[in-house]
Structure formats: structure tokens, C-alpha cells
Amino acid sequence: MEEVAFAKLNLALHVRGKLPDGYHRIETIFAFTEAGDLLNAAASDGLALTASGPFAANIPTGSDNLVLRAASALQRRYDVSAGATLDLEKRLPVAAGIGGGSADAAAALRLLARLWGLPTSGGALAAIAEALGADVPACLTSRPAWGEGKGEWVVPADGASIAGLPVLLVNPGVALPTGAVFSAWSGEDGGPLARDSLLDAALAGRNDLETAACRIVPEIGAVLDSLRGIPGARLVRMSGSGATCFAIFEEERARDVAAERMSAGHPGWWHLATRLRA
């Protein structure tokens, strides 16, 4: 069995303040691409994880990995005696603001629930997801949604305005820890996120972490400038806490031309041409 861990994008991310527990209160638009990491599972007596793919070297496969933590939590919740051998084909860069371990953990919950014949309704998977991390609940459904709180309060959204839109993801090849970016946030509340159609809200929105991320990793600013200079790019923004940025296009041809330009002009940058999921 296999499951795609769809790449997450924050089409907008407004940081509204700091919470008593040290986390930050945000408002965001979650969207997901058709591409992502690939998780495979086979029945086994115990739990084991291997990593393959272009970014496998950056993935620890011990018990602290979110995939194995998700698997163990699912076993405990349903008193499952069966195990699984898992292989994570890591196609996406790590510490990149596009879901990463959160998407992988969510994919593990979906995949193992199928493998072990467990119920997926009733909120049990969502409760496990929330305990694993702020982005995991949104990644569990991997569908357009509004996010609030730390990002764990997820409300499904009508994705009609963004469904199938071509998107180009670009990463300068520098890992950027989330905590460092939030710590460098200015502390200024720029106001709430509009509740229009997802595309209109995204266009009117912002990512309040871009400035801080660009100070820490100046290459992010270079990526954003390069994407903003491409004809046909309707929305250019950094995703999450970075370092991945994205450009949304109306037509696939414009996206593909942009991808060719990135490949020729910046061979050291990682890029991925895909589409947004409905």
C-alpha cells in the first residue's frame, strides 16, 4: 500500500500574537499540491521505517520520527497488535515550510488505518493528529482549509477558486527551522485574514514571517524576487516559515516556462511544478 504526503502551502499566514505557552496565534489558508513525499507500508510484526529518495539523507528513521510516532499512537489508540514496515520516499526538502514531517505523519495515519482496517471517522485520527503537531490536522485531510490557533483549528474551505491552479514551488536549498523564524517575528499584528473566496483572500493577504525569514536566509528574498519577475505569476509568496516559496499561475504553460527559467538560471535551487488540489 502507498499514500502520498501532499505538500502543504500557506497561501497566506497572518501572525496575530503570542500565546501563553510560547506558541503564536495565527490565521492561515491551507492549500495542498498534487505532489509530495510517498509513503509505502507492508504488514510486519513490528514497526520499522526506512528512507529513500533525493532527501533521504536528512531523515532520521528512529523512534522520534513523526511517521513512527504517528504509527505508535495509532497502535495504542486501537490496541493494534499488528505492525508495519514503512518506507518514506522523501521527495521534498526538509525544514522547508511545506508540511514535511507533518504531512508524512498524516499520510502514515491514513495509510495505516487502511492497512490495519481501522475506522477513519469519529475524530480519533484527528485527535492523534493534533497531538503530533500544529500542522498535522490540516495535513490529515490535505484539502483547502482555514486554520487558526497554532494552526490546529482547521475549518474546511471551498476550494473551487484554487482547484487545479498551476503552481511552481522553489527552494534555495537552505533548511530553515520554524522556531528561529517565529522568534524573529516583528511582534506587530497586521490585522485579520479576509474571509472571501480562498484565492481572493490569499491575494489580499500576506505572510507575516517573510521579513524575518529573509533576514535569516537572504536567499529567500532572491527566490521571491525571481518569481515576481516572471510573467503570468498571479500570486508569489513564501510558504509557512520558509524557505520554500511559490508562484501560482493561471496557465500551465506560464508555470512551465517559469520552471525552465529557474532551472537554467538557478541550477542549485530545488523546484517543483505541480497543481493545487481541490
Q: Any idea which residues carry the catalytic annotation? A: 8, 135
From 169, 162, 166, select the one nearest 226 (Cα to Cα). Answer: 169
Enumerate the H helices of the chain as residue ranges: 66-78, 101-115, 124-132, 136-141, 178-183, 198-204, 210-216, 219-228, 252-265
C-alpha cell at 192: 485579520
Greatest Cα-to-Cα distance within the chain, rounded to the nearest angstrom: 55
Task: DSSP letter for 231, please.
Answer: T
- CB of 88 closer than 8 Å to CB of 104: yes
Helix (H, G, I), strand (E, B) or coil at 268: coil
C-alpha cell at 59: 531523515
User: What is the residue-wise DSSP string for 14-29?
Assistant: EEEEE-TTS-EEEEEE
Q: How far apart are CA 254 and CA 273, in angstroms?
A: 11
- CB of 90 closer than 8 Å to CB of 55: yes
